[in-house]
Amino acid sequence: MSSNSEGEAFKVALRPRVNINSTIEELKSQQSSLTSIQLNFYKRFFEEAEEEKLEKLFEAVGSLKALKTLIFTSKGSNVQVVPANLLAKCLNKASQNLETLHLDNIRVNAFDANMDCLSDALADLEELKVLKLHCEDMDVLEQPIAAAGQIPTLEICEIESATIAQKIAEPSESLCWSKSLHSLKLINVAQSFGDLFDVISLLAVNQVLQELTLQVSELDVKGGQELVKMLAYNSSLQRVVLQAERMANATVGEAFIPSLAQNESLQYFQIILDGRQSDMKVVRAMGVKFRDTLKGTYKVTPRAGMAMGVICEREAVEVEAPAEEE
């Protein structure tokens, strides 16, 4: 294990044939001092390690009394497959203090029963503030994602699928009901914004969320219309980033202009499109219309290149100081 800062944060390199027992003993020796730990999985670690030792390792990590940040990540070219039952056991042990949980470049493997246990363990994390799931085969995590909406303290949630997910849009709706969440990022959880219609509809009445990032393949007419409606009604969002590979037509993008003019809470709005799949002239014309129409309210910056689109930043309102009395 290697220390990162002040002897409290540790990275653990877990490679095939690593001495797991030695790692467990070292964790136990610092059970009361470690607040942050990152487990880095290499190559065929899970395939070659003994199941009994894996269980003891995950239980030892979860038993760290001061643990607040827990990160699981794959290193190298292989995406590691982490058994859901091991994650559940670890989280059950760590439920009292854990504030940040991050699965980075991980694939979760589970039977239905194990996924139920993982969902229950996640929902029981009563102090969790930050949840980041950057996973492959995200569709198997529909139950845990739905459970995340039940965490009463969750403030930041990032759901990022390595490939376009097919079953995550509906469970993501639970996050829209959260009374504590102020930052939500959904990446590749659907093919188009239209597939997130119900999520977007719920966000219209969410008056807690402040930051929203949505990334899909297509900014389509159906999804665009619902996003426009959502921005017109929502009064808490301050930052919105919409990213897609392509946009159905220029009208879809320009339709946001009235909502931006009407929305009083929004400070930053951005549409990002893939320059390889978008017409530069169309996007540039859209940017000009944004700039001319929203002048005085937003500073509008068109973007060209591989990531083209438009950035709108609300301009500060100048308040005149009262005149001095003579």
State which amino acid sits at residue 122: L
Do residues 183 and 219 share a domain?
no
Report if residue 211 sits inside a domain: yes
pLDDT tens-digit profile, the chain (326 residues): 555 544 446 899 999 999 999 999 999 998 888 999 999 999 889 989 999 999 999 999 999 999 999 999 999 878 889 999 999 999 999 878 899 999 999 999 877 678 899 999 999 999 999 999 999 889 999 999 999 999 999 999 999 999 999 999 999 999 999 999 999 999 999 999 999 999 999 999 999 999 999 999 999 999 999 999 999 999 999 999 999 999 998 899 999 999 999 999 999 999 999 988 888 888 999 999 999 999 999 999 999 888 999 999 999 765 565 666 65
DSSP 268: E
Which residues, 6 or more positions from 207, have their beta carbon under 8 angstroms from its beta carbon? 234, 235, 236
Do residues 144 and 16 share a domain?
yes
Model confidence, pTM: 0.93
Looking at 189, 218, 239, the residue that finishes a domain is: 189
Do residues 137 and 219 share a domain?
no
Cα four-point dihedral sign 104, 110, 115, 118: negative
Q: What per-residue string of b and e applies to 267-281 under the rule 16 or more CB within 10 Å gives b? A: eebbbbbbbeebbee
Residue with tokens 């699965």: 103
Say which CATH number the domain at 167 has: 3.80.10.10
Do residues 111 and 218 share a domain?
no
Do residues 149 and 224 share a domain?
no
Cα four-point dihedral sign 293, 200, 168, 42: positive
pLDDT tens digits, one per residue of 231-284 = 999 999 999 999 999 999 889 999 999 999 999 999 999 999 998 888 888 899
Report if residue 80 sits inside a domain: yes
Average pLDDT score, the chain: 92
Give the containing element (helix H, strand E) for 296.
none
Do residues 18 and 74 share a domain?
yes
Q: Using CB atoms within 10 A of its CB, is residue 51 exposed (0-12), middle (13-18) or buried (19+)?
A: exposed
Please check whether residue 282 is in contact with residue 252, taking contact to mean a CB–CB distance below 8 angstroms. no
Do residues 170 and 49 share a domain?
yes
Q: Using CB atoms within 10 A of its CB, is residue 322 exposed (0-12), middle (13-18) or buried (19+)?
A: exposed
State which amino acid sits at residue 261: A
